[in-house]
Amino acid sequence: MTAVVTDATIAEAGAESGVSIGVVTFPGTLDDRDAARAVRLAGAKPVNLWHADSTLAGVDGVILPGGFSYGDYLRCGAIAGFAPIMEAVVSAANAGMPVLGICNGFQILCESHLLPGALIRNDHQHFICRDQELVVENTNTAWTGDYTQGQTIRIPLKNGEGGFVATDEILDELEGTGRVVFRYQGSNPNGSLRDIAGITNEAGNVVGLMPHPEHAVEAGFGPEDGGGIDGQGFFSSAVRTLVRG
């Protein structure tokens, strides 16, 4: 008999590990509830954080989810980088707290200088929404330990400003120090330099990527290739990292 996973079951699972992960909501955020559900499915407790908060409410990790923070005015993520909550996020990240930025969250991490480079308009000038294959390049981060080096995963991608750019010097440094975490497999969907889909900081606790792992954590609700659960590893990796301490 197949077990039925209910919202109550998921809520109970969120307390299993004793780990709590904050999910920040900015004006215009779209994927905060999806990220919170992914955290619950990984056995941690999601904690709602608001852009105007000044503290992180004692959480063990933070996710900056996708969307259009502050309407994507100025540059995507630029205004969010000055939100009150980001002072606490930057401080905690620099002290070693695991932080994941997804899509708009990746843009915010770059605007906050927790990650180098920038995300610009897709080279074809169109918003794109599709399932995307990624190659896992680095498993030595707080968010990728449950994957294997060279593994191909398939998760949804949706962005209009997803082209990762940086100077040749920064790109060479990212490549040379193993800080490219994910690379686009097959075709490059947005013109990102060197097919880079995600990167990490030097310590490996901060990761940003454009595709959306939180949309591929339940069978039947994500891409058919990979069973729809290729994104689970992000969240289970973070929980495992935090439980180990």
103 is catalytic: yes
Which of 110, 133, 161, 212 is flagged as catalytic?
212
Please give the Cα distance from 201 to 205 (Å, whole number).
7
129 is catalytic: no
Question: Contact, 199 vs 206, CB < 8 A?
Answer: no
Short-list 195, 196, 198, 231, CA closest to 212: 231
Please give the Cα distance from 234 to 151 (Å, whole number).
13
Token match 């901060």: residue?
Answer: 206
Which of 51, 111, 214, 215 is flagged as catalytic?
214
Which of 76, 103, 110, 161 is flagged as catalytic?
103
**Rounded CA Rg of the chain:** 16
Read off φ and ψ for residue 80, nearest 5 degrees: -60, -30
Report, as residue numbers or ranges, the catalytic residues: 103, 212, 214
